[in-house]
Amino acid sequence: MKTFAVAMLVVAATLSVIAVADSVNFDNAPVGQAPAGWTATKTGSGNAKWTIEKDDTAPSKPNVLKQSGVAAYPVCFKDDTNLKDGFVEVKFKSISGKEDQAGGVVWRLKDANNYYVARANALEDNVTIYDTMNGRRTERKRANMKVATNQWHTLRVDFQGSHFTVTFDGKKALEWNDEKFKDAGKVGVWTKADSVTAFDDFSYSGS
C-alpha cells in the first residue's frame, strides 16, 4: 500500500504541473504582426523580424511565430511571465539560413541583454546552452545531436535553482549548473543571425 500511495502522489504531482502549465499556439493572433503581449526584439545589432504567419505544417494549425530578419540574436519574450523555477518548451522548425539555422528558448530573462539560452542548430547538428550577460553570449556546454532542417523539433529546459536540464525531441541533451541569474525572469524564444525559424506550441510553468 505504501508503494501504491507513493505512486499516486507522483501521479498527482505530475498532473498538477500539467494543469498549471500555460501554452501559446499563436492561432488567434493576427497574421503579419508580432504577437500581442510579447516583446519582439534582438540582442545586439541588426533587424529582427518576428511575425505571426500561416504554416500548413504547424503542429497546431494554422499559425506559427516566425523570425525572418537578420540580427545578432533575435529574441522574443512573453511580457507577463516571471519564473524562477519551472520549465519552458517550444516546438520549432529551422527553415533556412546560410550563417545559422538555430531555434532556442530563453529563461530567467531580465532584459534583451541578460538571460540564459539553450538552442539547437541544424547547420551544426548540436544543442548548446549559453548565458548572455550585458549583451555578450558565452557558450557553456554542448552536445552533438541530429537537428534536421524543415522538420519540427521540441526543445525544453527544466530549471530548478542552479540546475538546468536541456531536452531535445524527448531525449536529455545536457545538464549544467550556474548561479549568474538567480532571480525570476521572463521566458521566450531565440534565434541567431540569418536563421529563418518557425515556432509553435510555446509552453511554460513555474514550480
How far is the C-alpha of 181 from the C-alpha of 14, rounded, in Å? 27
How far is the C-alpha of 17 from the C-alpha of 2, rounded, in Å? 23
Query: pTM of this prediction?
Result: 0.90
**CB of 57 closer than 8 Å to CB of 166:** no
Transcribe 88-149 into DSSP letters: EEEEEEEEE-SS--EEEEEEEEEETTEEEEEEEETTTTEEEEEEEETTEEEEEEEEE----T
When comparing pLDDT for 193 and 10, which is higher?
Answer: 193
In this prediction, residue 3 carries a pLDDT of 52
Q: Percent of the chain at pLDDT above 90?
A: 89
Convert the pLDDT of each residue in 115-174 to its tens digit: 999 999 999 999 999 999 999 999 999 999 999 999 999 999 999 999 999 999 999 999
